[in-house]
Amino acid sequence: MGQHNISPRIIGLTGGIATGKSTVSQYLQDTHQIPVLDADVYARQAVNVGSPVLAAIVDRYGAAMLNPDGSLNRGQLGEVVFHDAQEKAWLEQQIHPVVRQCFQAAMADLADAPIVVQAIPLLFEAGLTDQVTEIWVVACTLDQQRQRLMERNGLSLEQAEARIASQMPLSEKIALADVVLDNSGTVDALFRQVDQALHQGG
């Protein structure tokens, strides 16, 4: 038998909007020293000035989508895609392949890491479940989600509900998860669940 490399644990960390994903990824990174790859960072890179995706956005919606410095006006684009499922799907088709390539490149550099976390808000929606070995979903109550979103992003109740509604329901994500982290209590309680999930899979 040839030498067999132990496959790393690749944790796909996801949840709903404002359920506490970044709190968990920060904790895994800072306390457990586990590398965290963030899909949101890659998605932002995908629309950098000069990128093919940004050119496609301008081609589709016009130069009104740009800030004076030529960068993407996210608020303007958000107004279009949050209210139109078809446009949202088109945008995601542009961005998701770039995000997947970024993950592949980053994973090649982390070949020796025993555990890697991939923080992917759209893990299910973008069809990226095949690149992780286990799925962790961070959950909280709908009321908490609404409240956090309104506070964090300065949104009205109506805007917060539209954003939550534009995502795959959290209950569906929970049903597909290997680990559910309940973030409806204290941060300490959340971190204890993270510690436990790490040890159980280790």
Q: Give the CATH number for residue 149.
A: 3.40.50.300
167 within domain boundaries: yes
126 within domain boundaries: yes
- pLDDT value at residue 200: 85
120 within domain boundaries: yes
30 within domain boundaries: no
28 within domain boundaries: no
CA distance linking residue 1 with residue 147, whole number of Å: 56
Provide the residue range defining the domain that includes 19: 9-23+42-197
163 within domain boundaries: yes
Q: Where are the alpha helices (DSSP H) in the chain?
A: 21-30, 39-46, 52-61, 74-81, 85-109, 142-153, 157-165, 170-175, 187-201
- pLDDT value at residue 163: 85
- pLDDT value at residue 6: 58
DSSP 71: S
73 within domain boundaries: yes
- pLDDT value at residue 162: 86
- pLDDT value at residue 95: 94
33 within domain boundaries: no
What digits encode the pLDDT tens for the residues 95-124? 999 999 999 999 999 989 999 999 999 999
- pLDDT value at residue 125: 87
- pLDDT value at residue 166: 81
Domain count along the chain: 1
- pLDDT value at residue 23: 96
Q: Are 97 and 128 in contact (CB under 8 A)?
A: no
Answer whether 0.85 is exceeded by the pTM.
yes
Low-confidence ranges of the chain (pLDDT < 70): 1-6, 201-202
- pLDDT value at residue 133: 96
